[in-house]
Amino acid sequence: MAVGERSIFTAPFVDYLFQVEFIDFPTSENQESVVNQFQKLLTSGEVGAFIFEPLIQGASGMRMYSADVLDKLIAFAQQQDVVCIADEVFTGFYRTGKFLATDHLKNKADIIALSKGLTGGALPMGVTACTKKIYEAFLSEDITKAFLHGHSYTANPLACAAANASFDLLIDPETISQIKMIALAHQKFTELVRPHKQVKDVRSLGTVLAIEISSSGKTTYTDSLRTKILEYFLTRNILLRPLGNIMYVVPPYVITKEELDHVHQTMLKFLNSL
């Protein structure tokens, strides 16, 4: 919680969170200044780890940024012996079109966090994977060196079985071609709605599509459009949970082309209704 942006989710706990430095979100305009800001922080020698959502920041608004800038940040961090942690909870398991979002990069993270797609969303499970170097820092005959932070359901057998079964389905060629179908349909729809007068921004990467709707106020999680979007789609048999004025779609890989077209067309109809 401490490493995420301070927001309404963390407000009640803010006194108990440790201090974290945030860098600006990298856009096509500010890339150089973000890299400079990052390098300045790291050369202070007080930074232990760099944690990031690779390529897409999910709950903060499906914000997308370039692999190029992230590659530069990781390269500099690793040169300074700063541990790089990729939060792939949302982006992992082909969400961005590749197995991991960090597969779009030249430089690799030292630690990755996985969940959601790990069991296809069927059972609660998470994995923290790391490089051999990190693993060996905990490997010892001395029990106090071990990573003792487990819980009652660590390695739950049924969740592990679900993850294995889900992975078999995931790497099936039929699933891979479904992922390509979704990505292509999203891209085409992106171009179609981009000129729409209600569209402030539209972006897609792999199976993720996000439309930022022109809203009277700032783009926030609690924007009043949230309730309106939720109701509009629910009454049309589509479960779509907006982030404020950001309408996004992250379809299950079993969706048919017809179902996906229906989702896209309903999004267009909603935009026309505004």
User: Is the Cβ of residue 30 or residue 60 nearer to a second copy in the bound state?
Assistant: 60
Give just the sign of the alpha carbon dihedral 138, 141, 142, 147.
positive
Give just the sign of the alpha carbon dihedral 248, 250, 251, 257.
positive
SS (H, E, C) 36-67: HHHHHHHHCCCCCEEEECCCEECCCCCEECCH
Query: Length of the chain in residues, anyone?
Result: 274
Residues 218-257 that bind a second copy (CB under 8 A): 222
Q: Which of 41, 51, 111, 123 binds a second copy (CB under 8 A)?
A: 123
Each residue 27-66 as x (binds a second copy by CB under 8 A) or -, in order, gives ----------------------------------------
Output the smallest distance, CB 176 to a second copy, in A: 24
Output the smallest distance, CB 8 to a second copy, in A: 5
Residues 84-103 that bind a second copy (CB under 8 A): 89
| Residue 32, C-beta contacts closer than 8 angstroms, at least 6 positions apart | none
Q: Where does this chain touch a second copy (CB under 8 A) — which range of 30-38, 80-88, 123-131, 211-219?
A: 123-131
CB atoms closer than 10 angstroms to residue 47: 17
Query: Which tokens sit at 86?
Result: 């990729």
Residues 147-206 that bind a second copy (CB under 8 A): 148-149, 152-153, 156, 158-159
| Residue 76, C-beta contacts closer than 8 angstroms, at least 6 positions apart | 35, 38, 39, 42
Output the smallest distance, CB 17 to a second copy, in A: 9
The strand pair at 111-114 and 83-87 is best described as: parallel
Q: Burial level of 190, CB count in 10 A (0-12/13-18/19+)? A: middle
3-class DSSP state of 108: coil
Does 18 bind a second copy (CB under 8 A)? Our answer is yes
Output the smallest distance, CB 230 to a second copy, in A: 13
User: Is the Cβ of residue 134 or residue 181 nearer to a second copy in the bound state?
Assistant: 134
Q: Which of 144, 216, 235, 237 binds a second copy (CB under 8 A)?
A: 144
User: Is the Cβ of residue 26 or residue 58 nearer to a second copy in the bound state?
Assistant: 58
Binding positions for a second copy, rule: CB under 8 A: 8-9, 11, 13, 16, 18, 89, 115-116, 122-125, 143-144, 148-149, 152-153, 156, 158-159, 222
